[in-house]
Structure 1
Amino acid sequence: MSGQNWPVKADRIAEDVEALARITDPDRPWTRRAFTPRFLEGRAYIEARMRAAGLETRIDAAGNLIGRRAGSRPGTGTLLIGSHSDTVPDGGRFDGVAGVVSALEVARSLADAGIVLEHDLEVIDFLAEEVSIFGVSCVGSRAMAGRLDPAWLGRVGGDLTLAEGIRQVGGDPDRLADAARSDIKAFIELHIEQGPVLEDSGDDIGVVSAIVGITRIEFIIEGRPDHAGTTPMAARRDALVAAADLVRAVRALAMAHPEGEGHFTATVGEFRVLPNAANVVPSKVELLIDARAECRPAMEAFIAALTAEAATLKQQHGVVVTGPRVISDNDAVTCDIALQQTLAKAADALGLPRRELASGAGHDAAWIARVAPAAMVFIPCREGRSHTPEEWTENDAIAKGAAVIHEAIRRLDKVGADTAS
């Protein structure tokens, strides 16, 4: 597929990506966290570009920025495309942004070609897909799915509550229920893969089959504080030694997951040792496991294995183990089959090599999938790296993904999202 035959313009995509990359906290590339002045600056740029593309803009009650072009047949439903523009601290310039910019380019390219859709078309920048200063993620998409717990509005981050943060970005937390949608006929989100599969295979397009469920599991291991120099080794009840065995067990269980039974990972990402003094035997360890499974039985088996491991730790180390305690638990989501087929046919029509794969990361699409047909397009990223300043994808890769969505939107509009083929 040569660039001159693409239905989208790669140079406009590059212009938007670079413009947003310049909007970052000084000396922290690339940081534009939700509910900060930098985020609002980025939002202002995106909204201006939406308007320049002829889209009617609004911010819904949940703080999502939406650009809309009305279709020729009112009431037939909305074709929704987009992602998020917020970043993690010191994160990459493409995570989320590629999806927003590609959606904007799809809207522009349809207008350039004089194509009038029957369905309404909306480009969306979801609020706070990344874990925010309030400790929660996917704020905007949860609300659009009617799944944002009203109790979360009182969560505090710095000097703000979440309700105040939503209000500052232009939303209305008093009318949060108004953000819930029932008119979405299809949602498609483009995203960098955040993994190495596409780069390793040489495929241009990943059609996402499922988005993993994410379960966070807490353990607290309590031993006994003693003098590090005078307490005999055999007499210790060292909480950290027990915790180290647990960390090894978590890795071993994840490594043993059969390759043919779907995506599965487990990571000990948070770890706290008390009293954290060089000359004291550790008395307490708190740790949090992030486990991700494409298939629910795998998660249940993992939790059962951790329960057995807890009993072993108690016996071997003489410690008290509290856990596994499930802190949060979201099931995996299967992407809409008809939309997957439409995306696959769109890629084939454009001559772009594709493959099916599951997403090991969470996305806004996982929440929209609870109320409407949803699917995702993945594009390759260098060495599969993401959430790092070194995150990189080629501009042509974004353009190819945008071209697939452009073609898919035309197909969906012609035959209807419920019977896409």
Structure 2
Amino acid sequence: MKPNLPVDPARIAADIDGLAALTEPDRPWTRRAFGPMFLEGRAFLEARMREAGLETRIDAAGNLLGRRAGAKPGLGVIMVGSHSDTVPSGGRFDGIAGVAAGLEVARALAAAGVTLDHDLEVVDFLGEEVTVFGVSCVGSRGMAGLVPEAWLARRDADGRALPEGLAMVGGDAARLGEAVRADVKAFLELHIEQGPVLEAERVDIGVVSAIAGITRLEIVVEGRADHAGTTPMGSRADALVAAARIVEDVRALARGLAAGPEHFAATVGEFAIEPGAANIVPSRARMLIDARAENRATMEMFCTRVAGIAAEAAAAEGVAIAAPTRVSDAMPTRLDPLVTETLGAACDAVGASRRPMASGAGHDTGWMARIAKAGMIFVPCAGGRSHAPEESAEIADIALGAAVLTEAVIRLDRSLQEG
């Protein structure tokens, strides 16, 4: 731990440990949005916010907010925070570290006797992880006014509709428009890296430059079912062989693109064959490619090359493959230069080493960037592991990140008025 930082690691540890204790006992750490453990976590956080002198409320999109008034009413809000919901059987630090760091920013400012000109708000967004309704980033999308109307008809496994879930956590689907914000001048989020780079390079802070866009491509291979024992090897239209060739070529393409200076990754994460019997040549294969790129032009090039790879596999193996279908397609998000530069300067001011990074995962920051100047920092996590029970991060690293956020908030309080 670096000396003379304005934050208290013990308070951050108490926040994280307090939330960790609120979990489904047989699945640590599990506190999914819209469930009873999530509500217990929310009650804990609200109490901690009030202890920090924040005025709390839950908006119509189900976000928990703690507010500290600034010296100049009407100037706008600087917001810090993340999310407290988890994936099943994982998530002791994912999101939670960012909420704890946001809380510590408010406490550190109060302890130092610093009153910002802007209002300060600490936020716990609702449902950043994929929820029981099959959708994610519910709260941040709500704050940005980007909740699709169709989402309100979505139901969970028990038949409960999303508006019922919102009501359960204190939101109100009928008043979602009231959650939309035009007063947030800057938004900052701390998150564990969820990757191995910072730990491996012994760098304190990753200053996020962009959040990768995510495109998912579906490829269906149509071959011919034949007897596995009697059909000559040279007379087959084996859908699986063609699909396996595509998987290998996609991996080689992705590795080449990832070797460049920008973030890129591609994964065949879903794969199924038919009819799925040991004694039948596969007649059909379906795969879903998840591709993530910091640069949109790189993504377009990848998609074009994948179409070519599929066509080559079809010709080589005597199968039919239609053009890949874009199942979903989200654009990359560049984070605000002023905020990014301020975060870098804050790192230097508190003595934290830093490097620029792109985020390969989606975050609430990506949606807040639609309505505010947004920035994000990463802190190291053990082995790059995340979304698993083994997920771990050092409190000292999170505290250093909180110190960076505190310094950045103070600097933004001035610079936002200068522009």
**CA distances 1:8-41 after superposition (whole Å, capped 9, x unpaired):** 1100111111111122222222222222222222
For 2:112 and 2:363, the matched residues in 1 are separated by 31
For 1:207 and 1:20, the matched residues in 2 are separated by 26
For 1:283 and 1:225, the matched residues in 2 are separated by 4
**CA distances 1:376-415 after superposition (whole Å, capped 9, x unpaired):** 0111111212111111110000000001111111111233
Matches within 5 A, 1:138-157: 138-157=137-156
- For structure 1, which segment, 408-417 or 90-99, has the greater mean C-alpha deviation from structure 2 after superposition? 408-417
Aligned-residue RMSD, C-alpha: 1.6
**CA distances 1:170-190 after superposition (whole Å, capped 9, x unpaired):** 111112222211111100000
The Cα shift of 1:260 comes to 3.5
For 2:237 and 2:418, the matched residues in 1 are separated by 61
The Cα shift of 1:97 comes to 0.5
Aligned match of 2:334? 334
Matches within 5 A, 1:282-361: 282-361=282-361
The Cα shift of 1:261 comes to 4.2
Matches within 5 A, 1:11-410: 11-159=10-158, 160-257=160-257, 259-410=259-410
Contact 1:185 1:417 survives alignment (8 Å): no
Contact 2:258 2:265 survives alignment (8 Å): no
**CA distances 1:233-274 after superposition (whole Å, capped 9, x unpaired):** 333222222111111111011011163441100001112222
For 1:91 and 1:152, the matched residues in 2 are separated by 26
Q: Give the letter aligned to residue 49 of structure 1.
A: R
- Secondary structure class of the residue paired with 2:31: coil
- Secondary structure class of the residue paired with 2:370: coil
For 1:64 and 1:368, the matched residues in 2 are separated by 13
For 1:255 and 1:233, the matched residues in 2 are separated by 31
Q: Structure 1 unaligned segments of length 5 or more: list them.
A: none
- For structure 1, which segment, 375-384 or 321-330, has the greater mean C-alpha deviation from structure 2 after superposition? 321-330
Q: Give the letter aligned to residue 409 of structure 2.
A: I
The Cα shift of 1:330 comes to 1.2
Q: Check 1:328–1:23 CA distance in 2 against 1; reply closer, same or farther (3 A cut).
A: same
- For structure 1, which segment, 178-187 or 149-158, has the greater mean C-alpha deviation from structure 2 after superposition? 149-158
The Cα shift of 1:341 comes to 1.4
Q: Check 1:15–1:145 CA distance in 2 against 1; reply closer, same or farther (3 A cut).
A: same
Q: TM-score, normalised by structure 1?
A: 0.95
For 1:293 and 1:353, the matched residues in 2 are separated by 25
Q: TM-score, normalised by structure 2?
A: 0.96
**CA distances 1:129-188 after superposition (whole Å, capped 9, x unpaired):** 112222222111112112221111112221222222222211111122222111111000
For 2:181 and 2:8, the matched residues in 1 are separated by 31
Contact 2:221 2:242 survives alignment (8 Å): yes
The Cα shift of 1:418 comes to 6.6
Q: How many residues align?
A: 418
Contact 1:339 1:417 survives alignment (8 Å): no
The Cα shift of 1:228 comes to 2.7
Q: Check 1:23–1:274 CA distance in 2 against 1; reply closer, same or farther (3 A cut).
A: farther
Contact 2:379 2:401 survives alignment (8 Å): yes
- Secondary structure class of the residue paired with 1:157: coil
Contact 2:30 2:87 survives alignment (8 Å): yes
- Secondary structure class of the residue paired with 2:313: helix
